[in-house]
């Protein structure tokens, strides 16, 4: 048993040694071959290589442009999504634009200027407190306030119409202030 | 103010919770105080109906008719039905005519009024014999016989209820009147019309959008309402029988229609000018004149019963409040001063009171002000039971129908007396019911 193990160890050492020797020898050969090839390089080869590099660079630029285009497209989609999903919010029983509302409307005006072919509907909404009929009127005033501010920022009135939904179309059916404040809004829809 | 309100509501509550003591009935019935008859209701006995020829079908029809009578008389607001367990006599066995009745059996249990009924069924036709007695004066006040198909029993009983009302108060009551209201169908608000008690609801609109604010013409033949059928709120005027529709769809919103009593003229809030103002319009939507001129919100016009004044809601003082404009002199007076949110005015048929909706401490409730006594304290009619909105008076002025969320599953239709007592759910149907409007005064039940 012990003798057999000793044999295996010996064989292993020998095989390992053989491999090491062989790789050393081969390395030398490869190194020689490279040298020979380098020496064989011509001016024409150099020109071809420069052409390849130029192509690679072109390809890199094209890829970068594609990426930028995709990012731009995504940005456009994001801007559009933001335009449609960021609502203008109001205080209870008020159609006054808050500072936050004005900032958001300036952003929307920029979007409308960048998308000059787009017409929009501004919807005015209320929370469920208060009464149906009064809220119809209040919702209209909220939509009208948003429209007037956009008009003051240079957006043509002909591109915008308003409609009030009063308390008929809440975003959040909850009966708490968090829901109510979400529901008191002016919302933007593309025509 | 609140303390006094609490006190008065408590008094009303206390009086109503105890049985009305037996009192000698001396005066004639036409002196029943309709302005506040709900504190002292008249006890009435409604024993089971007699099967006149003894057929089982007559017993069944009689039980059905008796149930309709009990439900119907609850709509007077001033009658208290005595528990049948207290009855000492059974006219279904002993007889329903004056000569069959020992009035001491009825005065002995405190009944001041007795109604007996008999049913005869023959060849699919039903004959109903109904009698109203004054028990203390042993007098027949009204006796009527009705004949018709079994399906007409409801109508016959309601005709008799109108006779009872007329015999006791000189008014025909609510029994020929109708309700219009809004109910959701698959989440969309549609207009419905029903009998005064919520029975037989019939769908009027099929717009699958949003329909709101039904308003009855004086003759009860036309409804004006708001619908988004055209993508924005416009007024539709529909002749119910002829199904003919006129649309008022000027630029902006066209909302909150109301009919001038006895006329084919409407008031409504329109915003075509850029501001929400109230205008008088013809039935065809032609402009008659502008009623309000005030920057801000002007909505929910309601004519006084004589047509001379217009109550409406405006936020000209910074918050929504109820104002009254005299259409003759042009004078405008604010009439609500408590709280910072008062809307939905509803004029009582005698023109002396205004019910409206107020928000106090985030609670929406119905209040009442007396208009003929100068500015006074409002009386709170609903309290501590959900949100309560949309008051509308019965044509006899005894009852108010309204919307309440008190049962938790969205708004439903409720009823109370004009004093705020006897609040109860009117009817059950699928969906959410809002904006009930009682049709106008009924002059003749015949």
Residue B443 has a pLDDT of: 47
Name every chain B residue with its beta carbon within 8 A of the beta carbon of A165: 210
ipTM of the complex as predicted: 0.86
Nearest to A140 among B210, B231, B271 (CB): B271
Q: How confident is the model at residue A7 (pLDDT cuts 50, 70, 90)?
A: low
Contact indicator for B229, B254 with CB cutoff of 8 Å: no
d(CA B117, CA B96): 7
Distance of alpha carbon B226 from the chain centroid: 22
Considering only alpha carbons, which residue of chain A is nearest residue B228? A165
Q: Which residues pair with B413 in a beta bridge?
A: B403
Q: Is A81 helix (H, G, I), strand (E, B) or coil?
A: helix
Residues of chain B with pLDDT under 70: 1-39, 374-375, 441-446
Query: Tokens standing for B39?
Result: 């504190």
d(CA B46, CA B104): 15
Contact indicator for B196, B75 with CB cutoff of 8 Å: yes
Residue A6 has a pLDDT of: 61
Tell how strand B277-282 and strand B265-270 pair up.
Answer: antiparallel
Determine whether the interchain pair B253/A137 forms a contact, defined as Cβ–Cβ distance below 8 Å.
Answer: yes
d(CA B356, CA B381): 10
CA distance A140 to chain B (A): 8
Whether B300 has its CB under 8 Å from any CB of chain A: the answer is: yes
Q: A43 versus B138: which is more confidently predicted? A: B138
pLDDT at A95 exceeding the cut of 50:
yes
Residue A47 has a pLDDT of: 85
**CA quadruple B237, B291, B348, B342: dihedral sign:** positive
**Side-by-side strand order, sheet with B399-404:** B388-393, B399-404, B412-417, B424-425
Q: At what angle do helices B153-169 and B56-73 cross, to 10 degrees?
A: 40
Q: How confident is the model at residue A69 (pLDDT cuts 50, 70, 90)?
A: confident
Name every chain A residue with its beta carbon within 8 A of the beta carbon of B364: 129, 131
pTM of structure = 0.82
Q: B17 versus A82: which is more confidently predicted? A: A82
d(CA B191, CA B41): 35
d(CA A156, CA A174): 37
d(CA B342, CA B138): 50
The string of pLDDT tens digits covering residues A97-148 is: 999 999 999 999 999 999 999 999 999 999 999 899 999 999 999 999 999 9
By CB atoms closer than 10 A (0-12, 13-18, 19+), residue B271 is buried
Angle at B275 between CA B230 and CA B260, to 5 degrees: 70
Name every chain A residue with its beta carbon within 8 A of the beta carbon of B300: 133-134
Q: How confident is the model at residue A73 (pLDDT cuts 50, 70, 90)?
A: confident
Residue B441 has a pLDDT of: 61
């Amino acid at each position: 048993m012990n003798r057999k193990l000793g044999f295996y160890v010996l064989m292993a050492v020998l095989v390992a040694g053989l491999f090491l020797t062989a790789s050393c020898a081969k390395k030398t050969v490869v190194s020689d071959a490279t040298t020979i090839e380098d020496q064989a390089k011509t001016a024409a080869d150099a020109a071809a290589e420069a052409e390849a590099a130029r192509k690679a660079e072109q390809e890199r630029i094209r890829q970068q442009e594609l990426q930028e285009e995709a990012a731009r497209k995504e940005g456009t989609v994001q801007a559009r999504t933001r335009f449609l999903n960021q609502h203008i919010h109001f205080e209870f029983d008020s159609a006054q634009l808050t500072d936050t509302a004005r900032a958001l409307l300036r952003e929307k005006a920029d979007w409308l200027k960048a998308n000059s072919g787009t017409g929009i509907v501004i919807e005015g909404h209320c929370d469920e407190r208060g009464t149906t009929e009064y809220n119809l009127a209040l919702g209209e005033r909220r939509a009208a306030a948003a429209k007037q501010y956009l008009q003051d920022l240079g957006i043509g009135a002909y591109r915008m119409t308003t409609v009030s939904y009063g308390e008929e179309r809440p975003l959040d059916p909850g009966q708490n202030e968090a829901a109510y404040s979400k529901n008191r809004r002016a919302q933007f829809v593309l025509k | 103010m609140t303390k006094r309100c609490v006190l008065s509501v408590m008094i009303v509550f206390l009086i109503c919770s105890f049985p009305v003591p037996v009192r000698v009935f001396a005066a004639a019935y036409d002196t029943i105080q309709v302005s506040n008859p709900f504190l002292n209701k008249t006890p009435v006995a409604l024993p089971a109906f007699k099967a006149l020829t003894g057929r089982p079908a007559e017993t069944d029809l009689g039980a059905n008719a008796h149930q309709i009578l009990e439900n119907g008389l609850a709509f007077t607001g001033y009658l208290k039905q005595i528990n049948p367990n207290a009855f000492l006599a059974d006219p279904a066995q002993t007889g329903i005519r004056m000569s069959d009745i020992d009035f001491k059996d009825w005065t002995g249990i405190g009944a001041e009024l007795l109604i007996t009924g008999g049913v005869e069924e023959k060849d699919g036709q039903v004959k109903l014999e109904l009698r109203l007695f004054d028990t203390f004066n042993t007098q027949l006040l009204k006796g009527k016989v009705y004949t018709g198909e079994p399906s007409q029993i409801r109508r016959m009983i309601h005709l008799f209820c109108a006779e009872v009302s007329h015999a006791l108060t000189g008014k025909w009551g609510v029994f020929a009147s109708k309700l219009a209201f809004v109910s959701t169908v698959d989440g969309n608000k549609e207009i419905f019309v029903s009998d005064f008690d919520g029975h037989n609801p019939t769908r009027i609109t099929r717009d699958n959008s949003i329909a709101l604010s039904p308003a009855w013409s004086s003759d009860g033949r036309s409804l004006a309402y708001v619908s988004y059928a055209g993508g924005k709120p416009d007024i539709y005027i529909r002749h119910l029988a002829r199904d003919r529709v006129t649309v008022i769809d000027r630029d902006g919103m066209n909302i909150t229609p109301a009919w001038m009593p006895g006329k084919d003229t409407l008031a409504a809030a329109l915003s075509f000018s850029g501001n929400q103002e109230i205008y008088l319009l013809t039935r065809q939507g032609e402009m008659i004149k502008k009623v309000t001129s005030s920057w801000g919100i002007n909505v929910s016009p309601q004519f006084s019963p004589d047509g001379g004044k217009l109550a409406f809601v405006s936020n000209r003082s910074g918050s929504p409040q109820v104002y009254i404009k005299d259409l003759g002199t042009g004078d405008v007076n604010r009439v609500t001063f408590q709280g910072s949110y008062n809307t939905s005015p509803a004029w009582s048929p005698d023109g002396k009171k205004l019910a409206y909706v107020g928000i106090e401490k985030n609670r929406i409730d119905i209040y009442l002000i007396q208009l003929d006594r100068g500015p006074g304290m409002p009386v709170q009619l609903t309290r501590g039971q959900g949100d309560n909105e949309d008051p509308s008076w019965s044509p006899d002025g005894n009852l108010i129908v309204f919307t309440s969320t008190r049962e938790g599953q969205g708004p439903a239709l409720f009823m109370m007396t004009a004093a705020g007592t006897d609040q109860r759910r009117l009817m059950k149907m699928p969906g959410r019911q809002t904006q009930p409007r009682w049709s106008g005064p009924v002059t003749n039940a015949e």
